[in-house]
Amino acid sequence: MVSSEIIEQQSSPVRVERPATGGAVGRLEDGRVVFVRNALPGELVHVEITESTSKFSRADAVDILEASPDRVVPPCPYAHPGGCGGCDLQHASLDAQVAWKSALVAEHLRRIAGVERDVSVIEPPTSAEASRTRLRCAVTDDGRLALRAARSHERIEIDHCWIANTSFTPAFATSWHGAEEVELRAIGDGEAFAVVRRDTPRGMMYELCSLRGEPLEPSTQSRVNVRGHVFSVGPRSFWQSHRDAPTLLLDNVLELAEARPDDHVTDLFSGVGLFAVPLAKVVGPGGRVTAVESSAYAVRDARQNAEGLRNLKVREWSVTPRSVNDAVGEGDVVVLDPPRGGLAKGVAETLVRRRPRRLIYVSCDAATFARDLKILLAGGYSLKDLRVFDLFPMTEHVELLSRLDLAS
């Protein structure tokens, strides 16, 4: 991380050219590329430089000399230069946000994977406001919740978050003194609660609290119904943050996988079983599903969620070339949903060697997806479908869901 402190005032205005990761692209007086936050393509802006290298700079647009017709007033008072770094596109209309995301995904596919493809971004069924069911907060020295400034450790104290679930409101009035981090969770139909991290002489400790700071039972879990499948989600297990994401992704994974009775399906990075449990019901008693997950917390939840499904085995393994070699066979269907960093070294190559007939790759990072896609395409797979979902509204991020089939 670098500081967002202003290190240079640029005297000449900058013409912003196009979207890019980390800000719109422009050029400084000396010809260096600058990535400008809080700006839109076509705008003429004065900038304050916050980071500089020999090759490029980063900056905030602090004065809009010629505004884009796509510019809007941010709905959140903390979304401004020097403010919260969470929502980097609140100054753009919804259409402009979608165009930005489409352009970034298409650019990553072209530049990294060598794939020329028009990209359409699919909007979720509900609005962005209050759509986030998890919010990870820093804590100020006074014990108040805060979010980080862009590319910085600086804490911006907040008394609400426009994009987060409204049930979190009491947490912003609570003192969290002594905590390093507080994650607010409103997953499923139960009461929202907080996962509080404290650094102690004995190491990192976690405790569960109500949003007013009262201790909760360590056994507290969330329960979520997704298309009739009820999932238990422990406080240390991953769950999609957008309220529409679990249903939207599950529906599309099942549709694209086209798993058949008696199939063998491997679910890599399976979490608490969002995909594995419904897939086990699809393939039936004659088929089998192998779920591979490295988090002990998620594995425990997945085994609970798989209770009664004798054809579903949950393995507490990291996704490595060795575990893929053990779990995946020729003709299988593989679902994979890696973290933002994508597949570990050698995993894509091992998948190619194991020759599953179909891959359903879910990704929250277009660049690492494109990197892995290039390997899979070179290994004999063809990209049959790509769906891009706006599950991180007000930011440049998207969720991608693809189907790759092995060439016959």
- Positions marked catalytic: 364
**Token code pair at residue 81:** 């230069």
Do residues 366 and 396 touch, judged by C-beta distance below 8 A? no
- For 404, the 3-state DSSP assignment is strand
Q: Rg of the chain over CA atoms, in angstroms?
A: 22
Beta strand ranges found along 227-375 (DSSP E): 229-233, 264-268, 288-293, 312-316, 333-336, 358-363
Instruction: Name the strand (E) or helix (H) holding 399.
Output: strand 399-406
Q: What are phi and psi of 184, to 5 degrees?
A: -90, 135
Most distant pair of Cα atoms in the chain: their distance: 70
369 half-sphere exposure, CB direction, 13 A CA radius: 32
- Distance (Å, rounded) from C-alpha 214 to C-alpha 290? 39
With CA atoms as reference, report the closest residue to 80 among 4, 133, 21: 4
Q: How far apart, in Å, are the Cα atoms of 356 and each of 31, 253, 269?
A: 48, 16, 17
Residues near 126 by Cβ (< 8 Å), separated by ≥ 6?
Answer: 243, 244
DSSP states of 263-305 as a string? -EEEEET-TTSTTHHHHHHHH-TTSEEEEEE--HHHHHHHHHH
Q: How far apart, in Å, are the Cα atoms of 378 and each of 113, 233, 365, 375?
A: 10, 38, 20, 5
Residues near 33 by Cβ (< 8 Å), separated by ≥ 6?
Answer: 25, 26, 27, 55, 56, 57
- Name residue, tokens 């909760």: 216
**Token code pair at residue 15:** 């013409």
